[in-house]
Every structure is written in structure tokens, then in C-alpha cells.
Structure 1
Amino acid sequence: MKATITDVADRAGVSVATVSRVVNGNYPVRRATRARVKAAIAALSYVPNIQARELNMQRSSSIGVVVPGFENMFFAEVLKGIEDRLRQSSYSLLLACAENDSAQEKRCVMDLLARNASGVIVVSPNTETIASDFYADTAGRLPLVFINSYERVPGISYVTSDECGGTRIALEYLLRCGYGHILFVRGEKSDSYRIKEEVYRAIMQEHGTFSEADILNIGAGNSLETVDNTMRALMRRMEKGAVTAVFCCNDMMGAGAVNACKRMGRRMPEDIAVVGYDNTSLSRFIEPKLTTIDQRMAELGAAAAQLMLEKINRETTRDILLENRLVERETTSCRAK
């Protein structure tokens, strides 16, 4: 028979309220008493009733997280950072996938609201959803935190990777290493791609080498087709003229670029350089290993979780900006040029 909180209290020789305080960690309990309660919990294999605890605390112990898709390792590594931080505060995750679709993203948020989530973290929110005022209306109904969104909505906390700075670091590195003709590969419907493209346009125009034809939009940037779509688009573009480098807005596109270079017989880094973005595990798994920009994904997730806890507990709203950094691997080399 399943042990109850009363059974634990009887075995430890304390009140039910004391057991509750030890389980929830919301009130101080003397060390000796806490030890007796934990010993009783272990002996009885007691599992706390989460629903009862939520009724007692009058709030859910779950935080919703919405991601665009599951194919990109970036989101998995951000999720790990979120979960590691929330676990320390006895919160669990309710995960939803927007499938790179604005309407589905709205449904995910509303479903999490209906499930009484204490708040929702949205990773790379869809630009169409933001433009629709959906989040402006929702922010007054539950705590919201955005990861990597650049359109400000009142009442929402933001943790953002400095993708402007990271893109500039990558492009200036390629130019400094002698890779003058740089293609830009992006996806659709994300502020992340738009911000990177603005930096690319500015830098290429500064150097007098900008061409609209050097910007490739491969469509969905976080799908199962991203790698192959990037490879095919690049192969078509490289057939039209000499290219010395490819900057990709994420590592999945970077993997597609590496595959394109291999099929076209272009040596990396001697003939052509490839730079990705994110520093996911994928960048280390492919050959040659991908030079990329590190977005510090676990830190992004942990920071978003911290902002969510602040909104829940203190109703505060603030922003965090994390610097990006270059990770040099085998697809680039200043010595090769």
C-alpha cells in the first residue's frame, strides 16, 4: 500500500505540517528533525502528492516551455539549462513543440495556460506570432520569458544571445583570414536570422563586396530537411561562381554547407571556409569539425529559468544579454589562405 504523508509523520514522530515543510522546503526546520523526516521518507518509499502540494501552495509546480522543433540540438541543450535550474526550485517542465508554425505556437501557449502552468518560456518565438499581438495580450495572463527574440513586448522578460556581436566576430574573422567572398545562409520566420542578416549586409557593404545573390534563404531552419536543403542550395550557388567562405545561421546549415563542399570537391579550409552558429554537439560530430559561434546554450536556458522564477516570486521583469564567442575548428584557417 502506498505510504501517505501521515505515515511519514507518525514514523518520524512529527506533525504532518513538519513533513510538508521538509518536502516543500518552504519553511526552516531544525537539522535533526529534517534528518528524521528524510529517513522516514526513505524507509517508507514515500512519494509526495504533487497535486495536493499545488493545491496547498495555490500554484502549479510546472513551467511550460515552447520550442520551434526538436530536430536542432540547440533546443535540447537550452532545455537542459532550463531544467537544471528549475529542478533546484522543485519545478518541472511541460514541453510543447510549435513545429515552426505561428498558429501552432499560439495553440501550445494556450494549452499550457489551460494546464495551469505557472509560466511559459518561449524559445525563438515566431516573428509572425509576435507581430499578431498575441503575446502582448497573453503577457497579462501569465508570466512569459523569451529566449532569443528582439521584438520587445511589455511585461515579458528576455534572455538574449548577442547574435549581432557573434555574427560580426565570425565575419570579421573570415575577412581577416583572407576569405573575401562570403555567402550568407539563413532560414525563415525568426528574429535570429533577421538580426544576423542585418549585420552581414552592413559588413559586406563596408568592404564593397555585398551582393543580394549571396544571401540564401533555405526555408525552415530547424527541420529534418535543413541540412539537405542547405547542401542543395549551396551546390547550385557555387556552380555559378567562385565562393571563398560560407557563413551559416546555425550548425545544421553549417553541416549542409560542409556536405556541399565535399560533393563539389572543395577542400576545407584550403579552398573554402565554413562557419556555423550555436556550437551544438553536431559541430563536433561532423568531419571536418565545424568552426562555429558559441551561443552558450545551457547558460541561455539557466538564465531564462532564473528570470521565470523572478517573475513568479517577485513579479519582476528584466533582460539578460549573453556574449557569443568564436570556436575555431577544422573548416577555417588563417594559415590556409
Structure 2
Amino acid sequence: MLTIKDIAKESGYSVSTVSRVLNNRRDVSPEAKKRITEIVAARHFVPNNNAKHLKQNSSKTIAVLVKGTSNMLFASIVEAIQKKVEATRYTVSINYIDEDDNEVEEALTVCREHKPLGMLFLGGNPKFFEKAFEAVKIPCVLVTNQGALLGFDNLSSVATDDEAAAESAIDYLIRQGHEKIGILGGDFALSHTSKQRYLGCVKSFQKHQISFDEEQYYEKARFSYESAYEAMKRLLKKAEGITAVFAMSDVIAIGAIRAIIDGGRRVPEDISVMGFDGITMAEYYNPKLTTIQQQYSILAARSVEILLQNIDWNIAPVHEVIPFHLVQGESVKKINASLAEN
């Protein structure tokens, strides 16, 4: 009898992807859905409804809640999580929400409707957790954001130190002679990550005794190419003297570079650009991005390991900070600061 594993093997996709297609889930690529549907039709596959019903009543699902659909770092982490979980007896359910949505409210909905054994949050706002996370009763891990200060018994975290990483980024730009530095990042009221990275930037400016006018040199952008492109155009208009830009994600950096080039300037000859995340595209983009690299494979692996330990053995919350690396690419130029002012 044909099984889901047989379809997965024939299609080249994972068992969880096949399962999502069979359950009419939206978080599947059109290519995967087409391929799997063709095989199901050709092989006359009929799902085992009894098994499906049993599975629904005895869930072994790990839910993954992803904030934002354009976050390339999260895409890499999700892929690594799927591979890690699929090597166990558990299955994965991926749920995407907008980067500005309330992830805790969505988590409560997922818990009611799907009853997962545990949950991984990719991105989170502490305000939402403080307000309503107490109602979430399953083991959870906050990925890429630190959660120790939230103090929940069922919430662990695996993260990069965003504040220290952003401080390191600005330190590097200043060492290259840049003082008039523009910053592209999220809305502090909605993006805790952007707020933490901004605090790191301010620390660096203060440490080097460089004044920073937030109104003139900071521009809000969503974590998408399109939003970054428009934000960079606005920043160029109000901060004409900038010699460098720190983008709070590589996606934002790439959108910014396109805006700079379309505006008739060059990167890094006229304006240097530094990113954050260390996504694969940063290494192959032209120019190759100078960026802060988060270790996505370690973030994913430790998150899954900690969550499964919580599920299987009910261990105390674990909070880990994963080291970051500064990767020197081709998008930042060393300049003479005194000449740049003239």
C-alpha cells in the first residue's frame, strides 16, 4: 500500500511537506504542491482517515510560529528545524504571520486548534509575552530573541545578543573612518529586535563620542526588499552627507543598495552598506555584503534540542546566547573621515 513516505521519496520533498499538501495547508510552495498532487493523482493515493484521526487525537506535532514572510534568516532556520525534527518521532507544523502581528495571540489559536506538544517562536515581542503568554501551557522556545528576563517556567530561548552585535557593527564602520552613518531598521514600537539593535548602535556612538540625530539619520523599514528600497530613498533625501548605512538585516541592506545605485551612487565607493544576519545571499550578492553573521544552524539545532528536552523530561528553562561573527565583504570602504566632511 502506498504511504506518505513513498510519496515523499518519489517527489523529492519531505514527509512534512507531503502532509501539508494533503491537508491543504497554505505554507507550501506552488512547485511542491503541483509535484505532490500529480503523484497523488497518478498513484491513486487515498489517505488513511483512521490513522489521521488517531494522529489528531495523539499529537506529536511541534509548531513553529514565524514572524514575517520576507525574513531570509528565518527561512534558513525553518529549513534547519525541519531537518532536525524530522529525524525524531515528531512532525513539524509551520505557521507564518506578519512581522507586526501578535505572535502570542496566534500561539493561543494554534494551541486550541492543533494541540501541539511544543512550540518554537521565530521572532517575538516581549510586550506580547508579558501580556498573554501565561495562558500558553506547552513548552516553548523563543528563537533569535532573548527570553530569560520574561521569567516563564515553560519558555526557553536561544538567541544572538542583538545589542552587542549592532554595537560591533557601528564600531567597525567607525574604525573604517565613517562618522555620518545612517541606520535602517524597524518600528521600535513593534519590533523588539530593532529596538535592541538600535540601543547597540547608540552605545557605539556614545563610546566614540559621535553625536547621532535619530530624526535625521534613522529611517523605518519593514524587513523586506521593497520597504528597504523606499526607506533608503527617504534617508538619502534627509541625510545627504552620510558615507555609510547600517541595515538591521541583509534583506534591508540589499534593498538599500539597489536604491543607492538607482539614485546614481555607488556602493561602496560613495556610500558603504553593512548588513545583519549573514544570509546565504549576502555572500553571493554584488558587492558581497559586509555583515553581522548569526549562526542559524546552531540557533536551529539548539532550539529543537532544548524544546524536545522540555517535552520529554520537563527540564527547567534554558537560555543560551549564541556568538555572532563580523564578516568582512566588499560593501564597506575605508575612508579618511576628515576628507569625508569636506
TM range (shorter): 0.7 to 0.9
Residues 128 and 236 (structure 1), Cα distance of their counterparts in 2 relative to 1, 3 Å cut: farther
* Aligned counterpart, 1:145: 141
1:238-317 matched pairs, under 5 angstroms: 238=239, 241-316=240-315, 317=317
* Aligned counterpart, 1:60: 59
Check conservation: 1:181, 1:245, Cα contact below 8 A.
yes
Residues 168 and 186 (structure 1), Cα distance of their counterparts in 2 relative to 1, 3 Å cut: same
Instruction: Work out the number of aligned pairs and report it.
Output: 288
Residues 255 and 114 (structure 1), Cα distance of their counterparts in 2 relative to 1, 3 Å cut: same
* Aligned counterpart, 2:331: 331
* Aligned counterpart, 1:38: none
C-alpha deviations, 1:22-67, integer Å up to 9, x for none? xxxxxxxxxxxxxxxxxxxxxxxxxx989859969x8522100011
- Letter of the 1:247 partner, please give it: F
Residue 241 of structure 2 aligns to a residue in which SS?
coil
Partners of 1:293 and 1:212 lie apart in 2 by 22
1:97-112 matched pairs, under 5 angstroms: 97-103=96-102, 106-112=105-111
* Aligned counterpart, 1:322: 322
C-alpha deviations, 1:141-181, integer Å up to 9, x for none? 11111012245241200001122222122111111111121
Residue 78 of structure 1 aligns to a residue in which SS?
helix
Query: Which of 218, 221, 226 does residue 220 from structure 2 map onto?
Result: 218
* Aligned counterpart, 1:198: 199
Check conservation: 1:166, 1:323, Cα contact below 8 A.
no
* Aligned counterpart, 2:152: 154
1:103 Cα deviation after fit: 4.2
Check conservation: 1:119, 1:144, Cα contact below 8 A.
yes
Check conservation: 2:65, 2:103, Cα contact below 8 A.
no
- Letter of the 1:293 partner, please give it: I
Residue 269 of structure 2 aligns to a residue in which SS?
coil
1:183-194 matched pairs, under 5 angstroms: 183-188=182-187, 189-194=190-195
Residue 222 of structure 1 aligns to a residue in which SS?
coil
1:270 Cα deviation after fit: 2.7
The question of 1:233 aligning with 2:234 is answered: yes
1:96 Cα deviation after fit: 0.7
Residues 2 and 203 (structure 1), Cα distance of their counterparts in 2 relative to 1, 3 Å cut: closer
Partners of 2:108 and 2:225 lie apart in 1 by 24
* Aligned counterpart, 2:34: none
* Aligned counterpart, 2:37: none
Note the residue ranges of structure 2 that are not aligned, 5 or more in a row: 4-46, 338-342
Partners of 1:207 and 1:227 lie apart in 2 by 27
Larger radius of gyration: 1
Check conservation: 1:231, 1:259, Cα contact below 8 A.
no
Q: Report percent identity of matched pairs.
A: 25
Note the residue ranges of structure 1 that are not aligned, 5 or more in a row: 4-47
1:63-212 matched pairs, under 5 angstroms: 63-103=62-102, 106-131=105-130, 133-138=131-136, 141-151=137-147, 152-155=150-153, 156-188=155-187, 189-209=190-210, 210-212=212-214
Residues 232 and 161 (structure 1), Cα distance of their counterparts in 2 relative to 1, 3 Å cut: same
- Letter of the 1:117 partner, please give it: P
Residue 121 of structure 1 aligns to a residue in which SS?
strand
Residue 178 of structure 2 aligns to a residue in which SS?
coil
Partners of 1:315 and 1:283 lie apart in 2 by 39
Partners of 1:237 and 1:175 lie apart in 2 by 21
1:252 Cα deviation after fit: 1.5
Partners of 1:125 and 1:104 lie apart in 2 by 7
Residues 259 and 127 (structure 1), Cα distance of their counterparts in 2 relative to 1, 3 Å cut: farther
- CA RMSD, Structure 1 to Structure 2 (Å): 2.9
Residues 267 and 259 (structure 1), Cα distance of their counterparts in 2 relative to 1, 3 Å cut: same
TM-score, length basis structure 1: 0.76
- Letter of the 1:328 partner, please give it: Q
- Letter of the 1:93 partner, please give it: V
Partners of 2:198 and 2:116 lie apart in 1 by 35
Partners of 2:295 and 2:213 lie apart in 1 by 31
* Aligned counterpart, 1:18: none
| Greater Cα offset, 206-215 or 285-294 | 206-215
TM-score, length basis structure 2: 0.75
Check conservation: 1:186, 1:218, Cα contact below 8 A.
yes
Residue 208 of structure 1 aligns to a residue in which SS?
coil
Check conservation: 1:228, 1:256, Cα contact below 8 A.
yes
| Greater Cα offset, 163-172 or 246-255 | 163-172
